[in-house]
Amino acid sequence: GPGGDLPFLGSVLRRAECVRRCEEPRLGAVSRHRAAEEVRADFQRRVPYSYLQRAYIQLNKLEEAANAAHTFFMANPEHMEIQQDLENYKTTSGKVSLIDREARQHMEDYSAGVRHYDKEEYELAIEFLEHALKGYYSEDEDCQIMCEGPQRFEEHEYLDYKAGLYEAIADHYMQVLACKHDCVRELATRSGRISPIENFLPLHYDYLQFAYYRVGDYVKALECAKSYLLFHPDDEDVLENAGYYKGLLEGTVDPATIKPRKEAKTLLRRHKLESRLLQAAAAGLGYAYTEPNYWNRYGARQDEHSVPSSISSEPEDGPRLSLTKKPTSKPDRELKEGGPLLYSDVKFVYNSQQLNGTQRVLLDNVISEEQCRELHRVASGIMLAGDGYRGKTSPHTPNERFEGATVLKALKYGYEGRVPLKSARLFYDISEKARRIVESYFLLNSTLYFSYTHLVCRTALSGQQERRNDLSHPIHADNCLLDPEANECWKEPPAYTFRDYSALLYMNADFEGGEFIFTEMDAKTVTASIKPKCGRMISFSSGGENPHGVKAVTKGQRCAVALWFTLDPLYRELERIQADEVIAMLDQEHLGPSEMNINPKDEL
C-alpha cells in the first residue's frame, strides 16, 4: 500500500550514508581513490611493472627488475621483449626463481596443492587446497563488494537518461548483479587472461575428496564429495566414491549426518538466485543476457589414479571401483593426416608420430635448388628490416636482424621492374603449392585459406654471438597464448585465434644454428628438432598442441617462406586477395600497363 516502499528506500539511504561516511575519512576525497578507466585498465594489464623494471635497471637492482619483469610478463605473455629480458636476467644474475608480485594467493595455493597431489603428498595437498578454498571465499566477498562501485550504462549516455525511479534502480542494479554473478569467472581466471580455469571451485573439492580418502579421513572425504556433488549432482564417478566412503563409515558414523560444506552451499544458492534474477530481468525488461556455463565439467583433475573423480588405489581388502573416463572437449574438427602430396617430386620425410607430436609433417623437395636461389635473389631486392613488426629490426632478439616481405609487395616490385616479374610470380606460385599440399596431406574437408604469407630472413649480427643463450624466436603457439607455468594455451586475443595450420618452407642451409624446434607445453622439453635446408617444409596445426620456436642463428642468414592458414574465409589474407587479382590481370594474355589501365606508380 501507500508508503510500503519507504522501509526499503530508507535502508538504501542509510547504506549510502554509511558508505560515504566510511570512505572519505579513510580514503580521502573521491578524486584521490577513484581512478579513470584508462588507469584501471593499465593496472589490470600490469603496465606499471614495465616502468618499474626499467627504473630498477637504472638503479642496478637486477633482482627487483627481474621480479617486476616477471610480474608484467604473467599478464602479457605475448610480449616478446619482456620474455627476452627475463632470459637475460636468468643468465646475468643466475636468478631462476621469480616472484609474481601480483599473484593471487588462492591461485598460488591451489597450484601448490595440485603439485603436491600429483606427487602423492596428500597431507600437503590438503593443507594448500584448504588454504586455497579459504582464500577463494574471502576473495569472493571482496569481489562482490567491489561490484557495488560506479557502473557504466552501455545502452545510453547517462546525462541524457530520462528513466523513472524504478527503471533507473533496475538499470544500475542489473549492472551490479551481472558483475557479482561473474565473480565466479573472475576468481577462476589467471592474471592477464580472459579464459577461466574450467570447473575451478568444484575441482578443489574433487581433489580434496580423494586426498582425504588417501590419508584415512573418510568423514572429510565424504564431506568434500558431497560438496562437489552440489555442483555436479549427476557425476557418476563421485557418486560412486561417496557411496564407497559411506560404506567405510558404517558402524562408526551415520553418513546422513555428514553434510556438504556450508560455504559451498551458500555460494551456490546465491549464484542460482542471481541467475534467476538476471534471466527474469532479461525477459521482462529487454536486457540482453546469456547465462555462461560457469561449472564446465570438462575441467577435471587428471592423475594416474585413473581418471578424474574416481579412486583406483584402494586398500587391498577393499572393493575395486569402476574406472570410467570423463569426456574431454572435442576438437573443432576431426584430425586426420596422410593424404596425397599432389606433386611427384615432393618427398615425405616424417609424420606426426615420428615427430613426437600431433598434426605434424616434414617434407623435402617442395621447391628445387634453382627456385631457392631465385627466391633468395628476390628476397634481397624486396625485403624491409622489421617488416610485419612495426619496423622493429630485432623484434625477437637483439642479436639478429629480422627482414621480411609479403606476396603483394613482391608483385608490386616485379610490376615496377625493381625485381624480375617472373621471380616475384615464383613467390606467389610456391606459396600456393604449399597451401595445396597442406590442405591435401591433412585431409581437410573444407578449403584452406591464406591467413598471412611472409618471406623472412634472420641474420646473425657480428660481435653479438659470444656466450649467446637466447632463441632466434621464443617458444610460442600460433593461435593461442602459451602459458608454460599453467600448462595451458589460452585461445584469446591478442593471439591470432583464427589460424588453423602453419607451414615453413626453407630456402637455404648455409648458416649456423637456426634449428626449428617443437617443445612440450612447458616450453622447455624439446620433442623434435629440424635443420632447415633448401626445399624442406615443416607443417603443423597452429594450436597449443604444437609449441615451437627457432634456435639462435649464430652465423649467416636463414631465410624461409612463413605461411599461416585458416579454415574461416572471414579471415582470409587481404593482401593475398589483392595479389590474386593482380595475377589474374597479368594472366590476361600478358597485357601491358597501358592496356590494363594501371599506373605503375600506383599502390596495387
Q: Tens of pLDDT along 36-49?
A: 778 888 888 889 99
Does the pLDDT at position 564 exceed 80?
yes
Confirm whether 147 is domain-assigned: yes
Confirm whether 341 is domain-assigned: no
Name the pTM for this structure. 0.60
Mean pLDDT of 133-144: 95
Q: Using 50, 70 and 90 to split pLDDT, how confident is the model at 194?
A: low
Do 231 and 260 have their domain in common?
Answer: yes
Does the pLDDT at position 346 exceed 90?
yes
Does the pLDDT at position 594 exceed 60?
no
Mark whether 558 is an active-site residue.
Answer: yes
Q: Using 50, 70 and 90 to split pLDDT, how confident is the model at 457?
A: very high
Secondary structure, 3-state, 44-68? HCCHHHHHHHHHHHHCCCHHHHHHH
**For residue 537, what pLDDT is reported?**
97
**For residue 434, what pLDDT is reported?**
96
Do 21 and 61 have their domain in common?
Answer: no
Closest CA to 134 of 311, 264, 271: 264
Do 23 and 131 have their domain in common?
Answer: no
Q: Residue 18 is part of which domain span?
A: 8-36
Highest mean pLDDT among 260-269, 482-491, 520-529: 260-269
Do 91 and 14 have their domain in common?
Answer: no
Name the least confident of 301-310, 319-328, 546-555: 319-328
Q: Using 50, 70 and 90 to split pLDDT, how confident is the model at 416?
A: confident
Q: Is 37 helix (H, G, I), strand (E, B) or coil?
A: helix
Q: Tens of pLDDT along 482-517?
A: 888 777 888 887 789 999 999 999 999 999 999 999
- Which cell numbers hold the place of 416? 615496377
Does the pLDDT at position 550 exceed 90?
yes
Q: Is 358 helix (H, G, I), strand (E, B) or coil?
A: coil
Does the pLDDT at position 55 exceed 60?
yes
Q: Using 50, 70 and 90 to split pLDDT, how confident is the model at 347?
A: very high
Q: Which residues of 70-88 are buried (b: 16+ CB within 10 A; e: fewer)?
A: bbbbbbbbeebbbbbbbee
Q: Using 50, 70 and 90 to split pLDDT, how confident is the model at 297?
A: low
- Which cell numbers hold the place of 31? 578524486
Calculate the average pLDDT of the chain. 84
- Report the distance separating Cα 265 and Cα 255, nearest Å: 18
Do 180 and 94 have their domain in common?
Answer: no
Among candidate residues 435, 536, 558, 576, the one labeled active-site is 558
Q: Tens of pLDDT along 147-166?
A: 887 766 555 455 455 678 88
* CATH, residue 365: 2.60.120.620
Question: How many domains does the chain fold into?
Answer: 4
Last residue of one domain, picked from the residues 267, 285, 303: 285
Name the least confident of 116-120, 311-315, 560-564: 311-315
